[in-house]
Structure 1
């Protein structure tokens, strides 16, 4: 890449939004989401905030599965548009709402939500602790903060893996180990910390149905032909180091305020 700025996190997620992905950009797929939600003790009475909600897949899933109220925030307006489309399509507009917001400066009052969750968003922040502190600020006393985040499951990782993840997925800072995530949550004042780590079986997510997959591939082909930045992004992304999955995985991290 001659221009590294082309693959900044903002550009990457704008590309993802343009393609029209219906799924989240995280490891573990629906199985990981279910584990995260269950670990946060979500039920019908809970008021939930989904930070970095992307196209609203998880927020709508929670609303349909539990019947509770959910708010999703994402920094990209295009993602919020897609999330609102999803809520209408899935018939949960009365329980789910979305708005554009920076998760490092959440536009809600203190002690509002019973649960705050985030999937593969906190690890992309310039200041992870600031993000976590914001999640905690808007969580009610006794409520839960739950994260599904990229994790080094074997250390030290080779330099080429660190460079690959930074270049292709916009990881700005350090990817943490499970101990690092636990220490951050504990240091931010959360208690009853739950930590579960998993190897990544593949860098994919199996939420989509065939119709969505075909739509995505059609749009990807169009962008690949017409957009040089997108071509560079795809080429970089597909150049996966052979040993990546030996070191790179994800973790479920949950704490109580």
Structure 2
């Protein structure tokens, strides 16, 4: 079975659930990225986010980062995601936090953003662009909606040691909807090709414990409750649904993959400034 394809779970308690990387995240209502809150804070500083900035978060998932930015900086933020379910989770979360005057959410494709040219002071992406096949095309779109003098910033999984083992590459591609991770030079080249200046890269190694710690640090008290609910849904599916059990068994990593994952894969923070012409 090709896990890049959606597979409906016929015996699921929720008939809308599909066995795919993004559909399951939408069902659970929880997303994460490498480096957690620590990486987010570094990226925001590198993009010079302040109270008077207008920020776009592309691939906002369940809305954690846009809401954090609004709470931490008091600025206006827009979050977009291609998943209707993720935007529904995001809107519930922003209403709960009483930040609807500062944060707006829209369903949108990163490759065709519904905004005018030169709208935002910063465009932020966390674990988004590895999943987009036309990386050069989407960079042009980010560039288009960024104001002159503004910043485009990525947090992306990065090959910190090459060449990675073929079984590791295959496993990640198969289980993460065809994700294509680049080397630091590969990500930097995208910034150069679109014409960004003052490109600042920072690559970071990770460990299993470090990633877990950073994810936990990202969660406030209300988010921890959401996190626990997502795990409850996971175990509920595992117990009640044979298709999900089969899916979980098939995507479970081999010992070789586990050993190599954190030796070869880390994350990078990449920021470039749109030159004022």
Task: Flag whether TM exceeds 0.5 (same fold).
Answer: yes
Q: Tell me if 1:36 matches 2:43.
A: yes
Which of 87, 97, 107 is matched with 1:90 structurally? Answer: 97
Offset at residue 93 of structure 1 (A): 0.6
User: What's the secondary structure of 2:138's corresponding residue?
Assistant: helix
CA contact (8 A) 1:122 1:132 kept: no
Offset at residue 230 of structure 1 (A): 3.4
Distance, in Å, in 2 between the alignment partners of 1:224 and 1:34 is 35
User: Could you list the per-position Cα deviations for residues 24-44 of structure 1 after superposition, in whole angstroms to 9, with x for gaps in the alignment?
Assistant: 321100000000111100001
Q: Tell me if 1:181 matches 2:187.
A: yes
Task: Map 1:121-200; keep pairs closer than 5 Å.
Answer: 121-172=128-179, 174-200=180-206
Which of 24, 27, 36 is matched with 1:15 structurally? Answer: 24
Q: Tell me if 1:104 matches 2:118.
A: no
Segments of 4+ moved more than 6 angstroms? none
Offset at residue 5 of structure 1 (A): 1.5
User: What does residue 5 of structure 1 align with?
Assistant: 5
**Which entry has the higher C-alpha Rg, 1 or 2?**
2
Q: Tell me if 1:27 matches 2:41.
A: no
**Does the C-alpha gap of structure 1 residues 12 and 248 become closer, same or farther in structure 2, counting only changes over 3 Å?**
same
CA contact (8 A) 1:149 1:252 kept: yes
User: What does residue 230 of structure 2 align with?
Assistant: 216
User: What does residue 69 of structure 1 align with?
Assistant: 76
CA contact (8 A) 1:196 1:253 kept: yes
User: What does residue 14 of structure 2 align with?
Assistant: none
CA contact (8 A) 2:120 2:150 kept: yes
Where structure 1 has 5 or more consecutive residues not aligned to the other structure, the ranges are none
Offset at residue 17 of structure 1 (A): 1.4
Distance, in Å, in 2 between the alignment partners of 1:4 and 1:101 is 21
